[in-house]
Amino acid sequence: LQLEEKPLPLETKELNGILMTKMMSDNWDKIWNFQAKPDDLLIATYTKAGTTWTQEIVDMIHNDGDVQKCQRANTFDRHPFIEWTLPLPLNSGTCPAGPCGTVTCAGRFAPGRRVTETISKGNWKGIIYMARNAKDSLVSYYHFSRMNKMFPDPGPWEEYIEAFKAGKVLWGSWYDHVRGWWDAKDRHRILYLFYEDMKEDPKREIQKILKFLEKDISEEVLNKIIHHTSFDVMKQNPMANYTTIPTSMMDHSISPFMRKGA
C-alpha cells in the first residue's frame, strides 16, 4: 500500500467507542499483544502533550548528550509510535509491525483504562507519562489537525471544542487518558510528568527522568540536554520538528508543528 494510492485524510474506525485510524483499529490485537522487552521504555502521552519533547530528552539522556547521535534520524524513527501502524516510509520501525529495534516506543494506547492497566503491567523497564493541561492540548490539537492532512479535518473551532470535550477526536478522550494513567501511576513503574512543570523548570524535571532511568550524568551534559531540548533549538532541528515529512501530509505553512510551546 502506497500513500499515493490512499487519499488523505486516513480512514478512521472506532474501537470500543474510541476514534482511531482504521489501520490502528484493525491492528489492535497486535498492539495489545506487544511484548515489551525488559529494556524497553514507553513514553506515553495524550496527543500534543509534549511527546516529541520527551522523546528528545530521553534520546539525549540515552546518548549522553551527544547531539550528533540524536540527529541520526527523525523522532518518529528513533522512537516509533507503537500503535501508528502505517506502512509508510515514515515509520519503518513501528513496533507492532516487527521488531522494535529501539529501546523506546512512544505510544498513546488510547482505549481506556483497561489498556492502561494491561500495558503498565507489561515487561517495560518503565513508562514515562507526560500530561498537559486540557486547554493548551485542545488548542495545539486543533492547529495540528489543520496542518496534519492524515488526520480528520477539525472543522470550525467551536465545533472542535465540543468534539474534544466529548472525546470524539483521534485517540479519544483527553480526560480518560490523563486520568487513566494518573490512576495507574502508583501501581506500576510510571513516572508521571507535566508539560507545565517541564516548562517551568526543565532542569528539575529532567533530573526526575534521570533518576527514573537510574542514569548519572555530569552537570555539563545536563546543561547540554536542557539547551538542545529547548523550544527554540528543537524548532530549528529538522530531526525533531517534523519538517522532513512531505507537505502533502503535514503542511507547516498552515501551522508549524513546533507552534507555540507555551
User: Smallest distance, Å, CB 233 to ligand A3P?
Assistant: 8
Tell me whether residue 53 or residue 84 sits nearer to ligand A3P (CB atom). 53
User: Smallest distance, Å, CB 261 to ligand A3P?
Assistant: 3
Tell me whether residue 230 or residue 244 sits nearer to ligand A3P (CB atom). 230
User: Smallest distance, Å, CB 47 to ligand A3P?
Assistant: 6
Cell numbers linked to 249:
501530509
Tell me whether residue 26 or residue 197 sits nearer to ligand A3P (CB atom). 197
User: Smallest distance, Å, CB 2 to ligand A3P?
Assistant: 25
Q: Which ranges constitute the DSSP H helices of 127-201?
A: 134-147, 157-165, 174-184, 195-200
User: Smallest distance, Å, CB 146 to ligand A3P?
Assistant: 11
Q: Sort residue 124 into left (φ over 0), alpha (ψ -120 to 50) or beta.
A: beta
Tell me which residue of 156, 132, 125, 121 sits closest to 142, measured CA to CA. Answer: 156
Cα Rg of the chain, angstroms: 17
Tell me whether residue 187 or residue 238 sits nearer to ligand A3P (CB atom). 238
User: Smallest distance, Å, CB 55 to ligand A3P?
Assistant: 8
Where are the strands (E) in the chain, listed by range?
12-15, 18-21, 41-45, 104-107, 126-131, 190-194
Tell me whether residue 45 or residue 173 sits nearer to ligand A3P (CB atom). 45
Residue 58 near residue 41 (C-beta atoms within 8 A): yes
Tell me whether residue 138 or residue 163 sits nearer to ligand A3P (CB atom). 138
Residue 44 near residue 109 (C-beta atoms within 8 A): yes
User: Smallest distance, Å, CB 258 to ligand A3P?
Assistant: 4
Tell me whether residue 192 or residue 231 sits nearer to ligand A3P (CB atom). 231
Burial readout 29-44 (b: 16 or more C-beta within 10 A, e: otherwise) = eebeebebeeebbbbb
User: What residues make contact with ligand A3P under the rule CB under 6 A?
Assistant: 45, 48-53, 136, 140, 143, 229-231, 234, 258-261
Tell me whether residue 100 or residue 225 sits nearer to ligand A3P (CB atom). 225
Residue 130 near residue 54 (C-beta atoms within 8 A): yes
Residue 24 near residue 166 (C-beta atoms within 8 A): no
Distance, in Å, from the CA atom of 70 to the CA atom of 49, rounded to the nearest integer, reads: 21
User: Smallest distance, Å, CB 210 to ligand A3P?
Assistant: 17
Give me the phi and psi of 176, to 5 degrees please: -60, -35
